[in-house]
Amino acid sequence: MTKDIVVGDELPDWVGAKEFYQKYDPKEVIGRGVSSVVRRCVHRHTGQELAVKIIEITAEKMTAQQLEEVKSSTLKEIHLLNMVKGHPSIITLIDSYESTTFIFLVFDLMRRGELFDYLTEKVTLSEKETRSIMRALLEAVQYLHSLNIVHRDLKPENILLDDHGHIKLSDFGFSVQLEPGKNLRELCGTPGYLAPEILKCSMDEMHPGYGKEVDLWACGVILFTLLAGSPPFWHRKQMLMLRLIMEGRYQFSSPEWDDRSDTVKDLISRLLVVDSAARLTAEQALAHPFFRQYQKEDVRLFSPRKTFRVLIVSVLACIRMYSRYRRVRPLTREVLARDPYSIRGVRKLIDGCAFRIYGHWVKKGEQQNRAALFQNTAKIMLLGLEDFET
Ligand code: ADP
Ligand code: MG
């Protein structure tokens, strides 16, 4: 057992979870969910570091019905995780075990934790970084939707970052595969990210239900939040917040949004559409001009290749600067008198003076008259005199 275990985090006993313990060595807690604890763990043979989500299913703490519910929803989660395994922006389920009191889900370890914590640390993200994250997220959503899977709990807490800052979508606890022609009705998800139709459906029995579009609404909320550092729909009183969501009332208020492009605002406004039929699909969102810019931009926040390139360019620049420094000719009165414009420093000085007179660069070769430098008074001084006269 590790030192940092807090009350309620006791590891399952050996007898109940023998199979898991034989293969993995559980370490410190790295995350918590509603009914789960996530720990770093090490594969005993290979030494590979992984993450294990431990879900408790003990009869002492739950009613028989709750127990059945947790069990069946976890088995459903495992089934869906196996279906989506292999997508570059979706977490990989490596192993799973079920004992009488616990279920263990072993995943690849996302060392840099939640996008939520990354955003808290950075406050807001640049449009460039947001574009990389949202492109990967929407590609994951597009893939899920192609399999008729609705995630239903998209939020920065469920988007994890690996060593390179590449995102992976996780937590398929609320995910469901749609049956053809059928809609969903359950009220589930996280309040701030709930689409209006989920709320309306729970209040109106006649409502036709909701579908995949709820994930695109949540993507709109995430996109807004990454750029503004705060969510689009928020009120101290949750009822009022839900009303804002149902009416689709949000603002691009100053000063957070002043410097943001119209393109990204346009994308947000096409995702946060109350009418789910008019909302962009994942495919349409990926085709939006916001993503057409910088097509080849690296989706990772940290790229070893890019870093290496920067390093090489920096070294070459240093070599160039050093050899230039070695080649510098001594500045003598003779050289200065013969051709002052050939000396870089003097040339800069002359051009600088010319700029002060004409307000623009005097380019070499373009009817340049250096004598003009001495025939005029500097523009700024003239302006100063005018001011003085009036
Ligand atoms: P829940 O369904 O109970 O919300 P999650 O699957 O979201 O559980 O996991 C809870 C938290 O544990 C996550 O928000 C994250 O901080 C952490 N976590 C989950 N999976 C991993 C992983 N593979 N690598 C690192 N941290 C993880
Ligand atoms: Mg979660």
Cα-based angle 148, 214, 231 (whole degrees, multiple of 5): 140
Which position has the higher pLDDT, 223 or 376? 223
Domain 110-293 has CATH 1.10.510.10: yes
Active site residue 153: yes
Cα-based angle 29, 35, 38 (whole degrees, multiple of 5): 20
For residue 38, the one-letter residue type is V
Q: What is the pLDDT of residues 151-207, one digit of tens each?
A: 999 999 999 999 999 999 999 999 999 999 999 999 999 999 999 999 999 999 999
| Closest protein CA for atom 3 of ligand 1 | 33
Pairing relationship of beta strands 149-150 and 49-56 according to DSSP bridges:
unpaired
Q: Strand (E) positions, the chain? A: 24-32, 36-43, 49-56, 93-98, 102-108, 149-150, 159-161, 167-169, 176-177
User: Which residues are bridge partners to 337 per DSSP?
Assistant: none
Q: What is the pLDDT of residues 196-212, one digit of tens each?
A: 999 999 999 999 999 99
The answer to whether residue 382 scores a pLDDT higher than 70 is no
What 3-state DSSP class applies to 295? coil
* DSSP 8-state code for residue 11: P
Q: What topology is assigned to 21-109 in CATH?
A: Phosphorylase Kinase; domain 1 (3.30.200)
C-alpha–C-alpha distance, residues 307 and 52, integer Å? 32
Concatenate the DSSP letters of all residues of 310-346 into one string: HHHHHHHHHHHHHHHHHHPPP--HHHHHH-GGGSHHH
pTM for this prediction: 0.75
Q: Taking a C-beta distance cutoff of 8 angstroms, is the pair 369, 357 a contact?
A: no
Percentage of the chain beyond pLDDT 70 is 80
Q: Quick one: tokens of 14?
A: 């050996």
Q: Quick one: tokens of 341?
A: 């414009």
Q: Looking up tokens 């002060």, which residue turns up?
A: 356
Residue 15's pLDDT band, with cuts at 50, 70 and 90, is low
C-alpha–C-alpha distance, residues 61 and 230, integer Å? 36
The answer to whether residue 6 scores a pLDDT higher than 80 is no
The answer to whether residue 61 scores a pLDDT higher than 80 is no
The answer to whether residue 10 scores a pLDDT higher than 80 is no
For the chain, domain boundaries:
21-109, 110-293
Q: What is the pLDDT of residues 325-380, one digit of tens each?
A: 666 666 777 777 877 777 767 776 776 665 555 544 333 333 443 333 333 334 34
Around ligand 1, the residues with Cβ closer than 6 Å are: 30-36, 38, 51, 53, 91, 107, 109-110, 113-114, 157-158, 160, 170-171, 173
Q: What is the pLDDT of residue 301?
A: 56
What 3-state DSSP class applies to 140? helix
The one catalytic residue in 13, 153, 262, 298 is 153
**Average pLDDT score over residue span 236-255:** 95
Q: Looking up tokens 């008198």, which residue turns up?
A: 337
